[in-house]
């Protein structure tokens, strides 16, 4: 599925790296989304697939064809699944029957890392770009019109949109979260993260952040106050939330899907966590910006 040429290009853009081992069901789980019924969709990156986890933990395949190097996923109100397929520089749309179509594939997208969708069917893409500070946020309307909402970002790796249309983007290599207003103004929401990636918006407007290098999930209040929601993860990549207040996390380093209950209890929904090898001092943690993490140094 991945040729050496493709892998070289993705590596240069900060979109792939050697991976920690993961259980058979998931091979480097990345983006995550949840639908109204409580089904959780997980991007199974190294298998070139999207998998669905039911509320009872049953894992089923959504799609594993016509994807080159998927990294992000979103679910619309109509049940359509949207996939950021970095390897083909495109956004794919998956129907309820598993039919895959290309929503957009053009020069506007270089390496799309994450995707979000609003209630009107507008799609938002965090595009990492091919070099530092060339990342952008693209909007694709329900009519297929593409526009740029923000540019000059440093390898953005996460995106979310609120019920009111405010867009949030993880400006990953700048360790910040930015907010794009309805008028198109780009503001700093919060900073001082450690390689933030996945984002999700809560019902009250709070923004959840997968703070990957810190191995935790943080919450940013609407006023910009940052608090710790849960920790003890192993390179969390994606985060999503449902109508009950439960939070779902793709814990990439352990190859698992984790759930944080509204009371803060963390459990595993799919796959059994792998044991951490304390002797491993060269774990490559991110598909979007590979860095070597040593046990004695913080990157």
CATH number, domain of 77, equals 2.120.10.30
In this prediction, residue 117 carries a pLDDT of 98
Residue found under tokens 């240069």: 12
pTM, rounded to two decimals? 0.85
Contacts of 3 (CB under 8 A, 6+ apart): none
User: For 23-48, what is each residue's pLDDT tens digit?
Assistant: 347 889 999 999 999 999 999 999 99
- Distance CA(204)–CA(253), nearest Å, equals 30
Highest mean pLDDT among 104-108, 218-222, 270-274, 285-289: 218-222
Locate 234 and state its tokens.
């192993």
- Distance CA(200)–CA(241), nearest Å, equals 7
Instruction: Say if 299 falls within a structural domain.
Output: no
Give the count of domains, the chain: 1
Residues 177 and 190 sit within 8 Å (Cβ to Cβ): yes
Closest CA to 170 of 206, 133, 203, 199: 199
Residues 269 and 61 sit within 8 Å (Cβ to Cβ): no
User: For 46-94, what is each residue's pLDDT tens digit?
Assistant: 999 999 999 888 899 999 988 999 999 999 999 999 999 999 999 999 9
Q: How many CA atoms lie within 13 A of 216 on its CB side?
A: 12
Instruction: Say if 190 falls within a structural domain.
Output: yes
Contacts of 247 (CB under 8 A, 6+ apart): 200, 208, 217, 229, 230, 239, 240, 241, 259, 260
Instruction: Say if 298 falls within a structural domain.
Output: no
Expressed in angstroms, the distance from the first to the final Cα of the chain is 31
In this prediction, residue 271 carries a pLDDT of 80
Burial (CB count <10 Å: 0-12, 13-18, 19+), residue 278: exposed
Instruction: Say if 280 falls within a structural domain.
Output: yes
Contacts of 21 (CB under 8 A, 6+ apart): 255, 274
Average pLDDT over every residue of 201-214: 97
3 pLDDT higher than 80 = no
Residue 178: give the domain boundaries: 4-293
Contacts of 44 (CB under 8 A, 6+ apart): 25, 26, 27, 28, 29, 50, 51, 64, 70
Instruction: Say if 85 falls within a structural domain.
Output: yes
Residues 141 and 124 sit within 8 Å (Cβ to Cβ): no
Burial (CB count <10 Å: 0-12, 13-18, 19+), residue 23: middle
In this prediction, residue 57 carries a pLDDT of 84
Weakest-pLDDT range from 42-46, 142-146, 285-289: 285-289
In this prediction, residue 1 carries a pLDDT of 42
In this prediction, residue 107 carries a pLDDT of 73
pLDDT-based confidence at residue 13 (cuts at 50, 70, 90): low
- Distance CA(101)–CA(35), nearest Å, equals 20
pLDDT-based confidence at residue 143 (cuts at 50, 70, 90): confident
Instruction: Say if 166 falls within a structural domain.
Output: yes
Residues 288 and 14 sit within 8 Å (Cβ to Cβ): yes
In this prediction, residue 225 carries a pLDDT of 96
In this prediction, residue 292 carries a pLDDT of 27
User: For 175-190, what is each residue's pLDDT tens digit?
Assistant: 999 999 999 999 999 9
Closest CA to 215 of 192, 196, 232, 193: 232
Instruction: Say if 132 falls within a structural domain.
Output: yes
From residue 83, alpha-carbon distances to 171, 187, 228, 232, 294 in Å are 20, 27, 29, 28, 32
């Amino acid at each position: 599925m991945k040729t050496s040429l493709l892998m070289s290009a993705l590596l240069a853009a900060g979109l792939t790296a050697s991976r920690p081992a993961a259980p058979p069901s998931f091979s480097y789980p990345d983006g995550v989304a949840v639908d109204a019924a409580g089904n959780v969709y997980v991007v199974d990156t190294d298998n070139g697939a999207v998998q669905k986890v039911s509320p009872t933990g049953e894992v089923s395949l959504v799609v594993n064809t016509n994807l080159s190097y998927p990294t992000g996923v979103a679910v619309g109100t109509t049940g359509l699944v949207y996939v950021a397929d970095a390897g083909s520089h495109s956004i794919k749309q998956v129907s309820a029957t598993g039919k895959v179509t290309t929503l957009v594939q053009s020069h506007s997208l270089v390496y799309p890392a994450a995707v979000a969708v609003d209630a009107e069917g507008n799609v938002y893409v965090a595009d990492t770009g091919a070099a530092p500070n060339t990342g952008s946020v693209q909007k694709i309307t329900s009519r297929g019109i593409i526009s740029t909402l923000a540019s000059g970002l440093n390898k953005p790796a996460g995106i979310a949109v609120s019920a009111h249309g405010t867009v949030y983007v993880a400006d990953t290599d700048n360790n910040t979260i930015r907010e794009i207003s309805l008028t198109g103004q780009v503001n700093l929401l919060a900073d001082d993260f450690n390689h933030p990636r996945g984002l999700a918006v809560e019902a009250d407007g709070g923004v959840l952040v997968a703070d990957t290098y810190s191995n935790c999930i943080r919450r940013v209040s609407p006023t910009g106050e940052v608090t710790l929601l849960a920790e003890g993860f192993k390179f969390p990549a994606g985060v999503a939330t449902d109508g009950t207040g439960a939070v779902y996390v793709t814990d990439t380093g352990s190859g698992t899907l984790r759930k944080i209950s509204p009371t803060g209890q963390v459990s595993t929904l799919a796959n059994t966590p792998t044991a951490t090898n304390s002797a491993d001092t060269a774990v490559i943690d991110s598909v979007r910006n590979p860095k070597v993490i040593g046990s004695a140094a913080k990157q």
